[in-house]
Chain A
Amino acid sequence: MEIIMIVLAGILFGFAVYNILQKRLLRIIIGTALLSHAAHLFILTMGKLKRGASPVLTEGTENYTDPLPQALILTSIVISFGVTSLLLVLAYRTVKTNGTDNMEELRGNNHD
């Protein structure tokens, strides 16, 4: 199962990077969102999957799933939400100011 998940995460990484390399700002933001999904899955997999009950202490349970990756991911989800929303507003601002969201048109030139 872990191998499957690692492969899944790798595929998601691939799509994310492809999106990040695109011209449009919205595509790039979609790419970063995908990237954080992939990273979360990746971290979760590192802590071994399906090794016991949910990490909530209950009487009589010996094995729990590794709680540490989950805690890390929880932090990360919130942060990536912050990143995505900031990027979105940044894109919005860029479009308003420059009239384009095309990276090729937004690049500086040598005389800047």
Chain B
Amino acid sequence: MIIAILMPFLIALCIPFIAKFKYRIHTGYVAFAASLSIFLYFLTLLISGKTDILYHYSWIPSLGLDLTFYTDGLALFFALLISGIGALVAFYSIHYLDLEERLGSFYVYLLLFMGAMLGIVTSDNIYALYTFWELTSVSSFLLISFWFNRKASTDGALKSMLITFLGGFALLGGLALLHLVTGSASIREILTKGDLILGSDWFPLIVVLLLLAACTKSAQFPFHIWLPDAMEAPTPVSAYLHSATMVKAGLFLLLRFTPVFRESEAFFIAVSIIGLLTLFWGSYMAVRQTDLKGILAFSTVSQLGMIMAMIGYGTEAAIFAAIFHILNHATFKGSLFMAVGIIDHETGTRDIRRLGGLWKLMPITGIISVLAAFSMAGVPLPILNGFYSKEEFFASSWDLSADRAFGTGFASVLADIVPYAAVAGSIFTFVYSMYFYFRTFTGKSETTVAKKAHDPKFGMLLSPVLLVSGVILISIFPNWFSRHLLLPAANAVYGETMEAHSIHFWHGLVPALLMSLIVVISGILLYSTRSYWTGLYKLLPGRLSGNNVYSVILNASEKQTKKLNDHIVSGSLRQYNAIIISFISILTLLVLFGTNSFDLSNMDTSPVSLPQSLPELAVAVIMIAAAFGSTVSQKKLTAVIILGVVGYGLSILFVLFRAPDLALTQLSIETITVVLFLLCFRHLPEFKRERKEKLSKKITNIIIASLCGLMMMLVGLAAYSQRLFPAISDYFIENSYKLGGGDNIVNVILVDFRGLDTLFEITVLAIAALGIYSLIKLRQKGGDR
């Protein structure tokens, strides 16, 4: 079990070594073999009916985090989809990608993605789920920007990454809240605590966050804008990530939590509206596209919206239909993408305005496309699986108000509107499917394009042919698939065992059939009279489209970041210092006042009486004057000598405060320092040469300096007034003689109690001396200027 999930990662590790031999054996075969074996493994699981295999590993037991992988019906369904389509795509890409491309990187990314997807669907731990989720975003980014020297590729990759990472962030928040509310990081346990979640105050936020994650990943309105741009990826990637698997991760997430959420009316309202809106918007936009992949991208958006809406309904029929449509969508959209890849490969263009009449030149591709496109449109033929699931979609929309007992609120109104919205949204689906097929394969083509186009080699056709035969097989034996694949998955989602669901082509004259017929007839009408409607398709969106919003935000944030960065990272150390110091001062002041740290009544100060304290006061005044003097002095000599006054003043204070050792040391050090200053003096320029500083800058500096001084004063007062612990000095006073054998306590502390400190102090001095020595010596080697 764990091997199957980790296998893509393991193989991905080996790919770089194998890729060296790409001229002898195409690297894609390795990826193909890997995904095929994973597919077969999951298939054996499905056949044996063992659906709850667990891999369990105590990850961080102290936090109650376990790494568990499990397969229920839903996970198995998705795992089969991921590995099955993955194998086909890998096989297809062998013939699509040139040997000169960076095959190694491509298959590493592809396998990385496959492993991450398998991880998402089988993880039980929510944090593992999140990690795999982000990993799919990363690998998607890498795959979209595979041709990284094209600007459109990198832009599309960036867009998809920004949007899906936004969702990933929301996902982390939502999952963390779920953990908080239920106290468990295991999905299976969370699902058993539905009441706890529904009743919690956090519930609305959880739903919003998880919806945000699902909508960004599954390209729901208004986050769908990344998907069309992601079409810059190589076509196998589009077929795999951006139609069959990754975009379904969002749906998977919602399906996973449906057992809990489907009780909530708010969830129904939000998800259904988003889904129907996306269904409509995606299909409307698809009709406007001229790039074949653009049509498919928007059609994917729209189909995802339809599935989303069904998840929102939350009824038994709707969930079953949603699962069914995920399967069907993977088959027909995957084959359509591969067909577009073939067309692109053979004719060199994907522009639908330049294409036409390919039916005669590429009959096999034509058959694939007609079956897939008609299936997507929901044309009522017994060999098209798209019709079956669309029929189920209509049926579940129609029965919604009967199946779910809504009150009289907004939800019940919405449930009544839903069937009409479903029909309206599906009409354009029909139109773009027709548009896609007829504009490409019938009519006339530009002569330059048509010249050498023909059906490709067998290898490139095999994958789409297999997928299309999947379309037909599902349509002929819908109940076999239903019983073995769909029902277990739907049961896992629904949380209860559903009745066996039989799928028929002919239900009799039920509303769903009527709805289908309305869609087909109005679709045909719209398509055949489309020249009159071109204005309609250009009506929306104007300046407020999602893409504009995105680029405005992106440009503005880029500009602002650069501005901020240039402003702060100016290269001027003085400015850094000013920022750091003022920040520290302000923060400390805020904390001091915020926590009210002053307790002046508690202060234990020694008394100040005038005649006795005169020396101290006098020295203090002199020191302040000297510090001021050295600051304003315009001559460097004066400044240094006055600085000396401060130092000597300090040593006098040391004398007055009964610190003889300090006084002695300070005196001698101060003398040496002044001498040192004077030594270096000759080489340092005079102050006078400095240009006058701007007044505003000067004032700013004064303010910062005063703030810092004030901060230190207040810190001193606060620290002095609060004594939280008894002083440890008594220990030294008592033991100085006993343990250290010396009368001078300060000396004993330095060389005995804290001898190691002093040792390091000496080391520091030695290092400083070495530094000084080498700085001076440098002159002889480097030479002076």
List residues of A whose CB falls within 8 A of some B CB: 1-27, 29-30, 33-34, 37-38, 40-42, 44-58, 64-68, 70-71, 73-75, 77-79, 81-86, 88-93, 95-97, 99-104, 106-110, 112
Contacts and interface: CB of A to CB of B under 8 A. Distances in A.
Contact of B720 (A18, A20, A29, A46): A46
Contact of B745 (A4, A37, A57): A57
Interface in B619-636: 620, 623-624, 627-628, 630-631, 636
B177 interface: no
Contact of B716 (A10, A14, A86, A95): A10
B672 interface: yes
B433 interface: no
Interface in B551-574: 566, 570-574
Interface stretch (B31-39, B113-121, B419-427, B763-771): B763-771
B750 interface: yes
Nearest to A6: B716
A15 B729 contact: no
Given A41-B653, A44-B654, A55-B746, 7 more contacts: A17-B581, A44-B659, A50-B606, A55-B659, A86-B771, A92-B775, A96-B785
B617 A4 contact: yes
Interface in B532-554: none
Interface stretch (B95-103, B240-248, B480-488, B700-708): B700-708
B660 interface: yes
Contact of B639 (A26, A70, A96): A26
Which secondary structure dominates chain A's binding surface? helix
A13 B712 CA distance: 7
Contacts, number: 278
B746 A74 contact: yes
Contact of B705 (A17, A49, A82): A17
Given A1-B616, A92-B684, A107-B570, A85 B705 contact: no
B643 A34 contact: yes
A68 B728 contact: yes
Contacts of B737: 57
B601 to A, nearest CB: 13
A53 B736 CA distance: 15
B574 A18 contact: no
A3 B570 CA distance: 40
A67 B687 CA distance: 41
Given A24-B690, A89-B772, A10 B662 contact: no
Contact of B577 (A20, A33, A56, A106): A20
Contact of B643 (A8, A30, A45, A91): A30
Nearest to A20: B577
B673 A81 contact: yes
Interface string B471-507: 0000000000000000000000000000000000000
Contacts of B592: none
Contact of A17 (B616, B617, B709): B709
Given A23-B574, A67-B746, A86-B771, A1 B613 contact: yes
Nearest to B719: A46
Contacts of B772: 85-86, 89
B701 A8 contact: no
Contacts of A85: 673, 676, 768, 772
Contacts of B776: 89, 92-93
Contacts of A99: 785
A99 to B, nearest CB: 6
Interface footprint category on B? 35 or more
Contact of B764 (A52, A79, A95): A79
A105 to B, nearest CB: 10
Contact of B646 (A34, A55, A92): A34
Interface stretch (B168-176, B516-524, B754-762): B754-762
A32 to B, nearest CB: 11
Contacts of B702: 18
B749 interface: yes
B631 A4 contact: no
B467 interface: no
B680 A92 contact: yes
Contacts of B673: 33, 81, 84-85
Contacts of B727: 47, 66, 68
A112 B571 CA distance: 10
A96 B784 contact: yes
A9 B716 contact: yes
A65 B684 CA distance: 42
Contact of A10 (B577, B709, B732): B709
A97 B605 CA distance: 52
B750 A75 contact: yes
Nearest to B714: A10
Contact of A73 (B605, B662, B685): B662
Contacts of B606: 1-2, 48-51
Contact of A38 (B570, B620, B628, B712): B712
Nearest to B600: A3
Nearest to B566: A110
Interface in B631-655: 631, 636, 639-640, 643, 646-647, 650, 653-654
A84 to B, nearest CB: 6
Contacts of B778: 93
B683 interface: yes
A71 B749 contact: yes
A9 B646 contact: no
Contact of A107 (B571, B608, B628, B680): B571
B743 A56 contact: yes
A104 B782 CA distance: 24
Contacts of B693: 23
9 contacts: A5-B653, A8-B623, A17-B705, A18-B631, A33-B643, A50-B606, A55-B745, A85-B772, A86-B768
Interface in B650-692: 650, 653-654, 657-662, 665-666, 669, 672-673, 676-677, 679-680, 683-685, 687, 690
Contacts of A58: 743
A12 B627 contact: yes
Nearest to B778: A93
A95 B746 contact: no
B605 A56 contact: no
Contacts of B627: 11-12, 15-16, 34
Interface string B566-592: 100011111001100100000000000
A97 B779 CA distance: 9
B462 interface: no
A77 B667 CA distance: 10
Contact of B684 (A57, A101, A104, A108): A101
